[in-house]
Amino acid sequence: MRTLFRCWIIFCLIFTVMPRVNAQTVKLLTLNQLDQRIKQGRDTTYIVNFWATWCAPCLKELPYFEKLGANLKNKKVKIFLVSADTKSKLEKAVIPLAKRLKLKNEVFLLNEKSQQVYIDRVDKSWSGALPATLFINKAKRKREFYEKEFTYAELLKTYNSI
């Protein structure tokens, strides 16, 4: 009986002290909220990737953003993965995909009513095609927008150049 009790105590301690596995959550995000997040980091580089669950090139490059985030974890870099899916896809497509891919970077679903308004607000050159990525280096006051699919090497090169 004592052994069983000790095992139970050890089991409880392991699961209360051990860091929790962070199941990916996906939050709704407006462009105003995104702007506020970016304003917070004076010397931080932000990489904002716009993607969708139905976009094959987007899904192909998501692991590259994850690898970049892992390799730059000791740098002042924030990677935001912003889904352009509709809100109706949040529970059925976006969250399951984020969990399946075990995404560690912050994942959001864009919560804007007018697609054309947010497209123009992100970058005037954006046609609305996905994937699209915005790089912002606050320290150097640089901002670059790309409407293309990235390889890992291209992502790293672009990060290093900004």
> What is the tens place of the pLDDT at every residue in 4-52?
445 444 444 444 443 333 446 899 999 999 999 999 888 899 999 999 9
Q: Mean per-residue pLDDT for 101-111?
A: 96
Chain centroid to CA 138: 18
Can you list the positions of beta strands (E) in 14-159? 26-29, 45-51, 77-83, 106-110, 132-137, 142-146
Quick check: 62 pLDDT over 50? yes
From residue 152, alpha-carbon distances to 61, 93, 149 in Å are 8, 25, 10
Report the pLDDT value the prediction gives residue 3, as an integer from 0 to 100: 54
Report the pLDDT value the prediction gives residue 58, as an integer from 0 to 100: 98
Report the pLDDT value the prediction gives residue 19, as an integer from 0 to 100: 36
Residues 32, 135, 122, 92, Cα dihedral to 10°: -70
Q: Mean per-residue pLDDT for 102-110?
A: 97
Q: Mean per-residue pLDDT for 116-131?
A: 93
Tell me the pLDDT of the chain averaged across its residues: 88
97 exposed, middle or buried (CB, 10 Å; 0-12, 13-18, 19+)?
buried
The pLDDT confidence band at residue 1, using thresholds 50, 70 and 90, is low
Rounded Cα distance between 155 and 143, Å, is 15
Report the pLDDT value the prediction gives residue 6, as an integer from 0 to 100: 53
Quick check: 140 pLDDT over 60? yes
Percentage of the chain beyond pLDDT 70 is 85
Query: What CATH number is given for 22-161 in this structure?
Result: 3.40.30.10
Quick check: 78 pLDDT over 50? yes
